[in-house]
């Protein structure tokens, strides 16, 4: 292992930016994305971090895509792989290539509200508290062992966008701190 960190992201990339700006930023060796023109790619390019795009295109089976993704990540032999706003489910072919080395940041207090619409689901359920969870990735959807959690109150009148942004403020601190702790204890 080279001790480095590979980040997986598909979207705006504010968690990726927070990792880059933290004291573990220099350990980030690559951004791997399924969305070649996403915001995270812009942050990576500005910071001089190599970008590998592995889109799930029409002709590619899920297994082939998971294999391609694993090949892209494996070349760095990273100590940790961090899913930070990566919006695709990682399949067994990928997960089993990196046992106990993949973590994900999820915008809810797991086991409550797993899945792609965690913030919307918390509001719909009338939850008064939600938050974020950093967990290891296993074969399930947001079911792996929990490493860290922090709660965030749901305020009356919160929209999905407002609440999600308040959760992300917490994630931007909790995720880099958790990565640092895991690297120190490995
Ligand atoms: C974060 O809230 C992260 O927890 C969530 O996407 C957001 C990424 O924000 N991830 C998931 O929902 C994964 N299922 P960003 O693009 O601003 O970094």
Compute the distance from residue 185 Cα to the ligand 1 centre, in Å.
Answer: 25
Indicate the pTM of the whole model: 0.97
Q: Which atom of ligand 1 is nearest to the CA of 39?
A: 16
Mutate to test the pocket of ligand 1, among 105, 150, 163 (most ligand atoms within 8 A of CB): 105
**For residue 1, pLDDT beyond 70:** no
Residues classed as catalytic: 106
Q: What is the pLDDT of residues 11-65, one digit of tens each?
A: 999 999 999 999 999 999 999 999 999 999 999 999 999 999 999 998 899 999 9
C-alpha distances in Å from residue 102, one per residue of 73, 127, 129, 140, 179: 11, 29, 27, 13, 11
Rg (CA), the chain: 16
Topology adopted by domain 5-185: Rossmann fold (3.40.50)
Compute the distance from residue 103 Cα to the ligand 1 centre, in Å.
Answer: 13
Report which of 105, 109, 106 is spatially closest to residue 80, judged by C-alpha positions. Answer: 105
Compute the distance from residue 137 Cα to the ligand 1 centre, in Å.
Answer: 15
Pocket of ligand 1 (CB under 6 A): 11-16, 84-85, 87, 105-107, 116, 118, 167-168, 171
CA atoms 178, 179, 181, 182: torsion sign: positive
DSSP string computed for 52-114: EE----TT--HHHHHHHHHHHHHTT--SEEEESS--SPPPHHHHTTSTT-EEEEESS-TTSS-
Q: Which atom of ligand 1 is nearest to the CA of 104?
A: 13
Q: What is the pLDDT of residues 114-164, one digit of tens each?
A: 999 999 999 999 999 999 999 999 999 999 999 999 999 999 999 999 999
Q: What is the pLDDT of residues 60-93, one digit of tens each?
A: 999 999 999 999 999 999 999 999 999 999 999 9
């Amino acid at each position: 292992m080279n001790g480095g960190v590979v980040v997986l992201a598909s979207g705006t990339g504010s968690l990726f930016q927070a990792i880059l700006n933290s004291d573990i930023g220099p350990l980030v060796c690559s951004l791997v994305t399924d969305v070649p023109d996403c915001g995270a790619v812009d942050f990576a390019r500005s910071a001089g971090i190599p970008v590998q795009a592995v889109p799930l295109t029409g002709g590619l089976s899920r297994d082939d895509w998971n294999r391609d993704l694993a090949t892209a990540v494996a070349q760095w032999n990273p100590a940790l792989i961090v899913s930070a706003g990566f919006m695709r489910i990682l399949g067994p072919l990928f997960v089993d290539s990196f046992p106990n080395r993949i973590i994900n940041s999820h915008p809810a207090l797991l086991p409550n509200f797993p899945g792609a619409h965690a913030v919307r689901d918390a509001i719909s359920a009338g939850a008064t508290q939600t938050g974020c969870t950093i967990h290891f990735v296993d074969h399930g959807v947001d079911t792996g062992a929990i490493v860290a959690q922090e709660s965030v109150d749901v305020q009356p009148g919160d929209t999905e966008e407002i609440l999600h942004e308040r959760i992300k403020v917490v994630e931007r601190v909790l995720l880099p701190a958790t990565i640092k702790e895991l690297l120190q204890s490995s």
